[in-house]
Amino acid sequence: MCIAAFIWQAHPLYPLLLLQNRDEYHNRPMKALAWWDVDGCEILGGRDESTKSPMEFAEQLATDAHQYNGFNLIVADIHSKSKVSPGIHVLSNAKLDSPWHKAQRLGKGFKQMLNRYGKNEVNVKEMVEKLMKDKVKANKSKLPGICALDMEFILSSIFVEMDTPLGLYGTRSTAAMTVGAGGEISFYDEYLEKGVWFERTVNYHCNTLFWPGSKSPKL
């Protein structure tokens, strides 16, 4: 049950600031944060060990989606119009900004830390440690009731860890990304590999960022 919090078009320094936890089985093969080539385009991110490209995966998912329960998939084109309102948003295994315990808890903490930083640069590593490592679980009476109560209780914290018959499951990576108005992008990643946590930061610049309401690319 992954979770993400972001502020969009509502911060003095960052048109976009994103925090995300990715939950999965610890033994699932994956590659750490890196640049990788797909059809001549460079993509920065972690990667599951699969032979499918992101486009092939998305096309297959569109065909097979009826076979699964409800889920969230985020795919975006930086040049397309935004349908998300400016402000702070949280997304977990429900609709955007659903009033789940973990979503509300993360949203509240995210807002408090942003207010503390004010107009200054944020320390994404501090935000990751204080917000995304949170293991506080919901009161069972407040759970949304979408699956077995015991399972839902374990998954109700922002940071998840549990033992299952198929192996350890839980938060395996945490990402924090800041996008500056001038195209400066910083991607911080913490990931678990064979029981050990590693971290990496990649800084780069994007020359053509379009933001809602702009008349020309942000250079």
Specify if 217 maps to a domain.
no
Specify if 214 maps to a domain.
no
For the stretch 67-92, pLDDT in tens is 555 555 555 444 444 478 999 999 99
Token code pair at residue 28 = 């699932």
The predicted structure's pLDDT at residue 79:
47
CATH number of 182's domain: 3.60.60
Specify if 218 maps to a domain.
no
Token code pair at residue 35 = 């640049």
Please state whether beta strands 161-164 and 167-179 pair in parallel, antiparallel, or not at all (unpaired).
antiparallel
The predicted structure's pLDDT at residue 43:
84
CA 61/CA 58 separation, integer angstroms: 5
pTM: 0.79
The predicted structure's pLDDT at residue 27:
84
Specify if 213 maps to a domain.
no
Please state whether beta strands 41-48 and 30-38 pair in parallel, antiparallel, or not at all (unpaired).
antiparallel
Burial class (CB in 10 A: 0-12, 13-18, 19+), 206: middle
Low-confidence ranges of the chain (pLDDT < 50): 76-82, 215-219
- Helical H segments across the chain, by residue range: 54-64, 101-117, 124-127, 149-154
Specify if 102 maps to a domain.
yes
Specify if 31 maps to a domain.
yes
For residue 116, the enclosing domain spans: 3-205
Token code pair at residue 166 = 């198929």
3-state secondary structure of 205: strand
* Phi, psi (deg, nearest 5) at residue 55: -65, -40
- Our count of domains for the chain comes to 1
